[in-house]
Amino acid sequence: MSNRPRIGISACFFHADPKRPIFTGKTLQYVEQSIVHWVQSAGALAVVIPSPEGTTRRGDVTLADYADMLDGLVLEGGSDMWPGSYGEEPLKPEWSGDRIRDAYEIALLRAFIDARKPVLGVCRGMQVLNVAFGGTLYQDIATQKPGTQAHRIADLYDQHFHPVDLVAGTALANLYPGVTRAIVNSVHHQGVKDLAHGFVVEALSSDDGIVEAFRWIGPSYVAAVQWHPEFHDWTRSDVLSGDPLLAEFLQATRTSNTESAKIGV
């Protein structure tokens, strides 16, 4: 058997749409290819984890089965979270998010936490982690925290960048020796408002203090960044490389497997 880490990636959803010209009325589950290529860049195998729920469900496969089979989980970016997931009403209809995906990803996260398998969140994935552990979000940073810098410019998308400050002494800062301030892309308009209990902040937006990275202090590896390391141009030296973060996550999967083997799991 291959000794490559097997990394599950959460799915994005195109919900059933009777007006869509192809797959008319069907639900699609997919991943953006950059996240797959980023995970595979370090030699890991990327596996899409589909939701077993839905109107066409058959069989008895559960998310816990995937957590048992795989070595780690990446919660990828995508749509807004539904404010109801953290006890709020949408301030605008366009910020209603995707409650079905929320429920799927929170259940998926719980399955991997229960299995003590490492989890890495990216952009939306960081927001899912915060909400799942009891935190809340800004539904729209510009509206709810006036005076902040732009965190999303639609026309620029992943070519919009801003600086973040790494918190000294944290595990993230230790991955980048000598780096106190770095440039990252920024494609989100929602973000952490109330930080979930049990998490420590590892990076902040330099100009306005929006949380840009955090880590769980619980018994297994759970970390997240608000930017998209998979979108970064690997040839650019002026943006923060995602390689050390990915390497740490994959090493955590190997450590987790070793510890499980020792106790006969």
> Is 89 labeled as catalytic in the residue annotation?
no
What is the spatial distance between Cα 22 and Cα 243, in angstroms, rounded to a whole number? 37
The one catalytic residue among 151, 188, 189, 228: 228
What is the spatial distance between Cα 43 and Cα 26, in angstroms, rounded to a whole number? 34
pLDDT by residue (tens digit) across 38-55? 999 999 999 999 999 988
The mean per-residue pLDDT over the stretch 201-207 comes to 97
pLDDT at site 48: 97
What is the spatial distance between Cα 25 and Cα 142, in angstroms, rounded to a whole number? 35
> Is 123 labeled as catalytic in the residue annotation?
yes
Residue 48 bridge partners (DSSP): 9
- Please say if the pLDDT value at position 157 is more than 50: yes
The one catalytic residue among 123, 188, 212, 232: 123
- pLDDT-derived band at 265 (thresholds 50, 70, 90) equals very low
Tokens of 180: 């106190």
- pLDDT-derived band at 260 (thresholds 50, 70, 90) equals low
The one catalytic residue among 188, 212, 230, 232: 230
Share of the chain above pLDDT 90, in %: 91
pLDDT by residue (tens digit) across 101-120? 999 999 999 999 999 999 99
pLDDT by residue (tens digit) across 83-98? 999 999 999 999 999 9
> Is 12 labeled as catalytic in the residue annotation?
no
First to last CA, the chain: 18
